[in-house]
Structure 1
């Protein structure tokens, strides 16, 4: 069967700006695909979960497989709202995180449900957490987002690519912006996607 793979989400996929002179994620995928297959990039740099809903309108009619990476920019927004506040009350901080996470969880689950209604194989991705310069509190904060992404994958039956285990070296991140994948990191992501979309793949398991 001829495949048409569609990438949705944020700059994890839309990373051409951050790999000058090197292949982006979509370019890696196109180079690795057989000539009969296609790949389309709908993901947009800077997208949050709420803005990805608009990308669904652009999914081609002949799409056969969908891949979603979203949540990183939501986590960045939360970090700006949480870590900029001074507090000595751990309970209050956790309560604030829980409030923000509730909104993210609701939107993310609705997004994945909408994608599942298209009845196409769907792959979702965690948010990577070995970004150069990320401190331990920020890494801990990412855990709550990845918990939502992981739970949603298992509950709604998507294949999960764990980018935390794939982009685990400094060279996987762009020198232009350390929160974006480099050319080599993008190559890892592309190979993980194609592995997840292989004909023999069980579309309800983790790729890592």
Structure 2
């Protein structure tokens, strides 16, 4: 049944500044869902996990569903660890595991606040960026640790997951190495719409519920 979906998180959903002259994610979501649905953007470009609680203060009355895409900026904040000198692979993994544990504590707290609204919620994984340095393989491997935080938190609470690693998997999906283009935004909007309306013919291979 149609309702009112609210987008929370960072520039993955608040990508208007990176697609001048083209529709952003929320505009494409509204077009995808049609007039029976309302869509509100509360996500803020640059926000980290701790910012979602602040965003929720603007939650509109009548909201029926929440979608959260956050954690990418937190991961960027730990990117300096990839350049740290270590004496073994184990030491490097241990270093990254510390950052993973710190994110897990904050992500769990954030998601509990979101779920306290009582609204059906889906969270998004962090897609694989197109950063040139360090290598794509290194970034992808490191992000897997942060995405494990997101999926564990979601599965433990029975929350839907939209895997943006599969949604945005082409160079055309990015306006720059870390922000979605209009092309990628359209794919994100379609994934959100498919979660909201499970009977849609759109592929649901990127959605776990």
TM-score, normalised with respect to structure 2: 0.90
Other-structure match for 1:128? 127
- Per-residue CA shift, 1:105-146, capped at 9, x if unaligned? 011111111111211110100001152535211111000011
Distance, in Å, in 2 between the alignment partners of 1:115 and 1:61 is: 15
Other-structure match for 2:20? 20
**1:34 offset after TM fit, Å?**
2.2
Runs of 4+ in 1 over 6 A off after TM superposition: none
CA 40–56 in structure 1, closer or farther in 2 if over 3 Å, else same = same
- SS of residue paired to 1:129: coil
Other-structure match for 2:154? 153
Q: What is the aligned length?
A: 202
Other-structure match for 1:96? 95
Other-structure match for 1:170? 171
CA 87–108 in structure 1, closer or farther in 2 if over 3 Å, else same = same
- SS of residue paired to 1:83: helix
Other-structure match for 2:10? 10
- Per-residue CA shift, 1:41-90, capped at 9, x if unaligned? 0000111101222111111121100000011111111112x023222333
Other-structure match for 1:194? 193
Asked if the contact 1:130/1:169 (under 8 Å) is kept, the reply is no
TM-score, normalised with respect to structure 1: 0.91
- Identify unmatched segments of 5+ residues in structure 2: none
